[in-house]
Amino acid sequence: MNTVLLRGPLGAMARETVRGTGIEAEELYAAAVCWWSTAIAPAAKLSHWPEAPLSVWASFVTAETACPPLVDALILKQLAPLTVRRHVKSDRAFGSALFTAYKAHRNGHATDAILLTGSPFPDRKRRPSPISPLLEGPVRQAWDGNHYFLPTHWRHAAPTDSPPKVGVLWELTIDEWQRFEEDNAATFSRTLHFSRRPAPTTAHTHRSKAPDSRWPRALSTAYAWAFQHRPILGCSQAANEKIFAFRLAGQTKREALPNLARDFLVRDSDHLSRIAGTLAASEMTQIQGVHVDAAWSLVRRASLDTLELLQVPDSTARALIADMDAAISSVTEADTPAIPHPTEVWEHKPGPRSPVRKTRDSSVVKRIKKWYDSCQMCGETMFLPAPERVYTEAAHIQPLKGDNPGPDIIENLLCLCSNCHIRFDHGARIINDDFMVIDALTGQELRPLTIHPWHYISRTYLRYHRDRWSSQIATPAQVHHRVRTSSENSGAAPLHDL
């Protein structure tokens, strides 16, 4: 295995985009993995490592020859909206970047994640300084995903109950990278390091538009799938065996390496798992052996580049890589089951009536209204003339009031027109676990619920709504017996049209 396996829609994007840019497809592929992993990190988790985010970090080292910026060559912005900040070099700049990402998320413009690009090294007197310890601490712990802290002067930047989703796609000069290896070993080991290799510029041809041209739709579908289902990415048996064999193969050989090289390679299995999960999410499946193979090809390239930059003897590096190659190839793929939807525990526990009135969170209402310009249930758009605007209403699935009030969060909200809002609140419309709108009076399936890619609706609240009205809404047979003729209805109170 001497080249990177460009797999799935991310590989197709890299192959098609590099034409005429002077960038290697392998390097653009690695950059795309960083971008994609950060974009879906708020939605996807690894089953064997749920406390850590899916984010893949990488630094690209540029030698004497100037190389085109990788971030500018990526064309994923329209598919996975993500807040990107260049040259974050201090803890205050990091806090400001997090606040920008969090504000964009609250307003419905981007995911709750941020990608750091450029360089984190201050340039002082032509000699790059080390990464600030006040910056390195929270950045490193964002990679770990636990024991996260926020400095007091920007504690408002993000919620403190979980670390922010931070991605790294640094493009460094050789001088900056040398300070990286000297002074920042903790962050150094959490980052894949690639040595940039300028590729020959070729004229762009318009001959092929298929099958690779299908990758934008594939990634758009995968992005929507991730935020709809919040997948917990499990491993097939072959993938588990490959990862386990890979870890064993690296344990003994690392002792012969210098300290810094050993520090980098100690996390190679972590990089392998995250990249394999990122590739599996782009294909909407669980982690298979082929995803581990493709992930290892990328980690292998980074390992060779890192050992070369650290001037480790080639014979030692090749022997280590050969053992890991053998460990990965020793396991064959035998099973390819599809990943199930995430399981949600449904346990309704009625609580005492709360005497405290809940305060509505206007930010979540604004966000959901920006996502929709029509009703999620019926698809109708209501225009108002003065001032001219589209009118919708935010409907809570589990009401804020009552014996068991629900939370005022985006997972418990729908964007409906007035008619559907009234029908839903009174049980005339219900939604099943497949997000199909049902007429509760007749049992008829009406239409699938319209769902924005970033709008995750918890099935727990849908089940609460159905259970709440199931005992009060008549069955279709009972409805038939309640239908009256015009003569029978004379003198009787009309049935309410819910």
pLDDT given for residue 209 in this prediction: 44
Spatial neighbors of 92 by CB under 8 A, at least 6 apart, are 153, 154
Q: Give the Cα separation of 398 and 468 in Å (integer).
A: 9
pLDDT given for residue 246 in this prediction: 83
pLDDT given for residue 341 in this prediction: 42
* Angle in degrees, CA 27, 31, 33, rounded to 5: 115
Query: Tens-digit pLDDT profile for the chain (498 aa)?
Result: 578 999 999 999 999 888 777 888 999 999 999 999 999 998 999 988 888 889 999 999 987 666 788 888 888 877 888 899 999 998 889 988 988 888 888 777 888 899 999 999 887 666 667 788 888 888 888 888 864 555 555 544 544 456 788 999 999 988 888 877 666 667 888 899 999 987 665 544 444 444 457 898 889 889 888 888 888 998 988 888 888 888 777 665 556 666 656 666 778 888 999 999 999 999 999 999 999 999 999 999 998 888 888 887 767 667 777 878 887 888 776 544 444 444 444 444 444 444 444 556 577 888 888 889 899 999 999 988 878 888 999 999 999 887 788 888 888 999 999 999 999 999 999 999 889 999 998 889 999 999 887 888 888 899 999 998 876 655 555 444 433 433 444 444 333 332
Quote the pTM value.
0.77
Residue pair 179/129 in contact by the 8 Å Cβ criterion? yes
Q: What is the CA radius of gyration of the chain?
A: 27
Spatial neighbors of 251 by CB under 8 A, at least 6 apart, are none
> How is residue 312 written in tokens?
């480790």
Residue in the structure block whose two tokens are 């041209």: 213
CA 229 to chain centre: 11
